[in-house]
């Protein structure tokens, strides 16, 4: 048959995969930060919350005899629960739920305060712990959405109450459209798999026909990925310059990196006025020689300990001199490496710390983001913060605080490119809170990167298992545009997460990373045969590929790229090879 076919064509049709069908309650990724005259309907119809819209008065809610809770109705017909602060800036129990330790719970509700503004914390009190499910910046006169989640470590009763450190003592917390929805681990994984299929892959259709456009069955097509589109990288230390084993281990796995310390001010200028970039230059040369993209970390750092030792006790009353020093630092590092890095962390951790702000002023971050953008117009500038995902009880960098920091930068005059950097230094993990937090941050439609992912090695023997869980969760979320691990190696070991031993043999955690790389890149290759109509279909992760058609005497090689197709567009890309 091959002798009769001097002309073959290999046609690639790329389009978005359809939604998977299964009898699992879909996860609701929706969130709005808009303050509305009337709350939206509760997610999941309220889930296990009875009377979630308070249309039946207080039925199913006040569980405590001292609860100061009332049922009110607005002029627009909206019913809601009004809870008074009774002690220590918190309400009494609003509701008791029976929660199970093997379930994952999403939580959402809409809030308003009767007077002023307040930052409100939703808390579930179990037999062993108080668990923050989420935060919201509530206002007088309109409704704002809280979205979060929780897991519990003991099955039993959990009492819901609310707390605020800044509410007017005579104000009430108004609550409506309350939802708590349980999911099993199997359902949670289904959500992950469904999201990966929808957002990380596209369906690829191969069609093989002869010169007369007749289908060619049983043609073998082999597919090999040459580069993954999803950025997945790891930090490195200067130790890599002196270790061939480190270089080989790293370069065979990662195409993205960030320097652990070697681009920080305290490393580059250990003595005032003596700036040394020799190690930084060498690390950048290593990365460039292996086509590894570098994130610039960090231009400035709000933490006192992030400054050079000679600057950490700089007095507040010498602000102009301090401003000159920081200006010099920004000009020095950014002009040297502009065009060489694709991201810059500009003012690191400016939600937890304020060393720079105390010396320059409230708008110090906006000043340096504007300055950084003027120097490097092509780079994406990031906020970079910890505990936004990791610890639900940390108010300082919780999701609503993060949103407010973004709006503050805009109001202070920085209008340039901005990214959300989430450090993700995990101890115990609350996956529903992680997913909900990314939903909240996605509402401002800025690029979201996981910038420093690790798992604390002091929180139990299951470090590798928890690493597996969090990588899968983060990669599955459609809003996450890249992941950088924080696992640089030095002769002394690693900060909190090692992937190898000192001889660069994989630990269990390293095997987890390799497993994901193999899964995403099809490292073992893919192969299939065309059907009776000449078609072969498969789902591929977005990336660059080579496909080899074997039929007849000579194989046909074609290079192509699988890319996202946009918001539901039926985009079709056709490639054709003739022999």
Q: Closest Cα partner for 307 from 359, 381, 383, 237?
A: 359
Q: Closest Cα partner for 293 from 328, 344, 245, 334?
A: 344
Q: Closest Cα partner for 557 from 8, 14, 13?
A: 8
* pLDDT tens sequence across 428-482: 999 999 999 999 999 999 999 999 999 998 766 799 999 999 999 999 999 999 9
Would you call 452 a catalytic residue per the annotation?
Answer: yes
d(CA 241, CA 237): 8
Contact 484, 449 (CB under 8 A): yes
Could you give the angle at which helices 463-476 and 431-442 cross, rounded to 10 degrees? 30
Q: Is pLDDT of 11 > 80?
A: no
Q: What pLDDT, on a 0 to 100 scale, did the predictor assign at position 569?
A: 39
* pLDDT tens sequence across 68-105: 899 999 999 999 999 999 888 889 889 999 999 999 99
Contact 172, 162 (CB under 8 A): no
Q: What pLDDT, on a 0 to 100 scale, did the predictor assign at position 19?
A: 43
Q: To 10 degrees, the CA torsion angle through 284, 286, 292, 293?
A: 0
Helix extents (H) in 396-480: 399-411, 431-442, 463-476
Classified by CATH at the fold level, domain 43-183 comes out as Jelly Rolls (2.60.120)
Q: What burial letters (b/e) apply to 500-515, b meaning 16+ CB within 10 Å?
A: beeebeebebbebbee
**Burial class (CB within 10 angstroms; exposed 0-12, middle 13-18, buried 19+) of 274:** exposed
% pLDDT > 90, the chain: 82
**Burial class (CB within 10 angstroms; exposed 0-12, middle 13-18, buried 19+) of 7:** exposed
pLDDT band at 566 (very low <50, low <70, confident <90, very high): low
Greatest Cα pair distance in the chain: 90
d(CA 552, CA 2): 5
Say if residue 298 is preceded by a cis peptide, omega within 30 of 0: yes
CATH 3.20.20.80 maps onto the chain at 238-521
Q: What pLDDT, on a 0 to 100 scale, did the predictor assign at position 524?
A: 79
* pLDDT tens sequence across 167-200: 988 899 999 999 999 999 999 999 999 999 999 9
Q: What pLDDT, on a 0 to 100 scale, did the predictor assign at position 385?
A: 98
Q: Where are the beta strands (DSSP E) in 3-114?
A: 8-15, 69-73, 79-84, 95-99, 104-113
Could you give the angle at which helices 508-521 and 463-476 cross, rounded to 10 degrees? 30
Q: Closest Cα partner for 551 from 204, 215, 221, 213?
A: 221
Contact 308, 272 (CB under 8 A): yes
CATH of 197-225+524-578, one of 2.60.40.10, 3.50.30.50, 3.40.50.1980, 3.90.950.20: 2.60.40.10
d(CA 513, CA 250): 12
Q: Closest Cα partner for 398 from 120, 155, 152?
A: 120
Helix (H, G, I), strand (E, B) or coil at 111: strand
d(CA 297, CA 289): 20
Q: CA 81 from chain center: how many Å?
A: 33
- Catalytic member of 53, 197, 452, 473: 452
- Catalytic member of 302, 349, 385, 390: 349
d(CA 324, CA 493): 37
- Per the listing, tokens 């102009």 go with 320
CATH 2.60.120.260 maps onto the chain at 43-183
Tell me the three-class secondary structure of 311-367, residue by residue. Answer: HCCCCCCCHHHHHHHHHHHHHHHHHHHCCCCCEEECEECCCCCCHHHHHHCCCHHHH
Higher pLDDT, 538 or 405: 405
Q: CA 287 from chain center: how many Å?
A: 24
Contact partners, residue 83, CB within 8 Å, separation at least 6: 67, 68, 69, 91, 92, 94, 162, 172, 173, 174, 175
Q: What angle do CA 240, 241, 242 make, to 5 degrees?
A: 90
Q: Is pLDDT of 2 > 50?
A: no
- Per the listing, tokens 């924080």 go with 486
CATH 2.60.40.10 maps onto the chain at 197-225+524-578
Any idea which architecture 238-521 has in CATH?
Answer: Alpha-Beta Barrel (3.20)
Which tokens hold the place of 416?
């340039």
Helix (H, G, I), strand (E, B) or coil at 490: strand
* pLDDT tens sequence across 277-301: 999 999 999 999 999 999 999 999 9
* pLDDT tens sequence across 19-75: 444 579 999 999 999 999 999 999 999 999 999 999 999 999 975 656 689 999 999
- Rounded mean pLDDT of the chain? 92
Would you call 571 a catalytic residue per the annotation?
Answer: no
* pLDDT tens sequence across 312-338: 999 999 999 999 999 999 999 999 999
**Can you give the pTM of this predicted structure?**
0.94
Q: What pLDDT, on a 0 to 100 scale, did the predictor assign at position 169?
A: 85
By DSSP bridging, strand 8-15 and strand 201-210 are antiparallel
């Amino acid at each position: 048959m091959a002798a009769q076919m001097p002309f073959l064509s290999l046609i690639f049709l790329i389009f978005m995969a359809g939604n998977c069908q299964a009898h699992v309650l879909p996860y609701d990724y929706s969130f709005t930060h808009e303050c509305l005259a009337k709350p939206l309907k509760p997610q999941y119809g309220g889930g296990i919350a009875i009377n979630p819209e308070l249309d039946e008065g207080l039925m199913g809610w006040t569980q405590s005899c001292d609860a100061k809770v009332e049922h009110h109705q607005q002029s627009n017909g909206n019913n809601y629960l009004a809870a008074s602060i009774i002690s220590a800036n918190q309400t009494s129990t609003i509701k008791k739920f029976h929660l199970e330790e093997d379930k994952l719970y999403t939580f959402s509700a809409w809030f308003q305060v009767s007077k002023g503004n307040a930052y409100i914390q939703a808390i579930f009190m179990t037999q062993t712990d108080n668990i923050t499910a989420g935060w919201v910046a509530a206002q007088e006169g309109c409704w704002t959405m809280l979205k979060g989640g929780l897991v519990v470590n003991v099955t039993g009763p959990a009492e819901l109450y609310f707390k605020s450190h800044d509410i007017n003592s005579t104000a009430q917390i108004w609550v409506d459209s309350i939802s708590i929805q349980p999911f099993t681990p199997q359902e949670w994984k289904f959500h992950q798999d469904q999201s990966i299929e929808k957002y990380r892959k596209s369906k690829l259709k191969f069609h093989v026909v002869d010169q007369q456009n007749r289908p060619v069955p049983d043609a073998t097509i082999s597919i090999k990925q040459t580069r993954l589109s999803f950025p997945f990288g790891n930090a490195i230390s200067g130790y890599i310059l002196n270790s061939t084993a480190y270089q080989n281990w790293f370069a065979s796995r990662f195409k993205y990196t960030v320097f652990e310390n070697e681009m920080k001010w305290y490393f580059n200028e250990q003595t005032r006025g003596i700036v040394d970039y020799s190690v930084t230059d060498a690390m950048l040369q290593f990365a460039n020689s292996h086509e590894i993209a570098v994130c610039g970390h960090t231009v400035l750092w709000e933490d006192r300990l992030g400054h050079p030792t000679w600057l950490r006790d700089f007095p507040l009353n010498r602000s102009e001199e301090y401003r000159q020093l920081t200006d010099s630092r920004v000009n020095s590092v950014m002009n040297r490496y502009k065009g060489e890095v694709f991201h810059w962390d500009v003012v690191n951790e400016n939600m937890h710390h304020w060393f720079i702000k105390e010396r320059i002023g409230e708008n110090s971050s906006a000043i340096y983001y504007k300055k950084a953008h003027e120097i490097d117009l092509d780079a994406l500038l990031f906020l970079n913060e910890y505990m936004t995902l990791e610890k639900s009880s940390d108010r300082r960098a919780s999701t609503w605080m993060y949103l407010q920091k973004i709006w503050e930068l805009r109001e202070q005059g920085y209008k340039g490119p901005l990214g959300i950097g989430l450090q993700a230094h995990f101890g115990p993990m609350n996956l529903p809170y992680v997913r909900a937090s990314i939903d909240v941050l996605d509402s401002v439609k800025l690029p979201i990167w996981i910038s420093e992912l690790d798992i604390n090695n002091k929180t139990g023997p299951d470090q590798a298992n928890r690493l597996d869980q969090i990588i899968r969760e983060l990669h599955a979320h459609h809003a996450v545009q890249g992941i950088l691990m924080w696992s640089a190696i030095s002769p002394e070991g690693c900060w909190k997460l090692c992937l190898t031993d000192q001889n660069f043999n994989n630990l269990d955690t390293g095997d987890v990373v390799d497993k994901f790389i193999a899964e995403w890149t099809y490292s073992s290759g893919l192969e299939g045969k065309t059907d009776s109509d000449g078609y072969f279909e498969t789902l591929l992760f977005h990336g660059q590929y080579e496909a080899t058609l074997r039929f007849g005497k000579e194989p046909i090689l074609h290079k192509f790229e699988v890319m996202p197709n946009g918001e539901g567009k039926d985009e079709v890309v056709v490639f054709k090879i003739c022999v």
